[in-house]
Amino acid sequence: MRTAAAVLVVSLWCLPASAQQGSEALDRQSYEMYQQVFSPFCPGRSLNDCPSSKAQDLKREMRAKLEAGVPQDEILSEVFARFGDKYRTVPLFEGIGKMVWIAPIAFALIGLAIAGGVVLRRKKGSPAPDSPSGTAIPEELQRRIDEELAKLD
């Protein structure tokens, strides 16, 4: 009898903790999902950052589907079918979206190649190790400099 009561108390005590963990997981999933959608009601803002009441309604609708077990990809597909692909915060890797993904990588590689070329060119033209300034002063000129400096003393 005591063991059954202890098991009941422990299971009831763990129930709110597991519900809270489930709620936190849903909160995280919802946040990630809202960040993938530009708000149709607040130009230039993600759905997560839009204070509009219509945005709140859409977020509630998406959250309810998520709680009902509908996969996140399916919910997002429905939203983009309803409002259009222009509300994607991350473009698809197809069509013009490929350029959005490839262009920054290409520019970074080109920049690295240019920087590498500049470094190699400067390294080739670096000063000789025996002269500190990189240009050797002819002996005659050095002698004249020394004479002029001696006159100043």
SS3 assignment for the chain: CHHHHHHHHHHHHHHHHHHHHHHHHHHHHHHHHHHCEECCCCCCCEHHHCCCHHHHHHHHHHHHHHHCCCCHHHHHHHHHHHHCHHHECCCCCCCHHHHHHHHHHHHHHHHHHHHHHHHHHHHHCCCCCCCCCCCCCCHHHHHHHHHHHHHHC
Q: Count of residues for the chain?
A: 153
pLDDT at site 54: 92
**Of 4-8, 78-82, 141-145, minimum mean pLDDT range:** 4-8
Domain closes at, from 70, 89, 108: 89
Residue 29 belongs to a domain: yes
66 and 36 within one domain = yes
pLDDT at 7: 43
20 and 57 assigned to the same domain: yes
In a domain, 146, yes or no: no
Q: Distance between CA 80 and CA 78 in Å, rounded?
A: 6
Q: How many domains would you assign to the chain?
A: 2
Instruction: Looking at mean pLDDT, say which of 85-89, 124-128, 146-150 comes out highest.
Output: 146-150
79 and 105 fall within a common domain: no
Handedness of CA 58, 59, 64, 67 (dihedral sign): positive
Q: Are residues 24 and 54 in the same domain?
A: yes
Domain encompassing residue 101: 92-120
Q: Are 132 and 140 in contact (CB under 8 A)?
A: no
Cβ 97 vs Cβ 88: under 8 Å: no
Lowest mean pLDDT among 15-19, 86-90, 112-116, 117-121: 15-19
Residue 2 confidence (pLDDT) above 60: no
pLDDT attached to residue 16: 47
* Co-location of 79 and 108 in the same domain: no
Is residue 135 domain-resident? no
- Average pLDDT (52-78) is 92
82 and 116: one domain? Answer: no
Judge if 58 and 100 occupy the same domain: no
User: If you average pLDDT over residues 20-47, what whole number do you get?
Assistant: 86
CATH code for the domain of 75: 1.10.8.640
Does some domain include residue 25? yes
- 68 with 37, same domain: the answer is yes
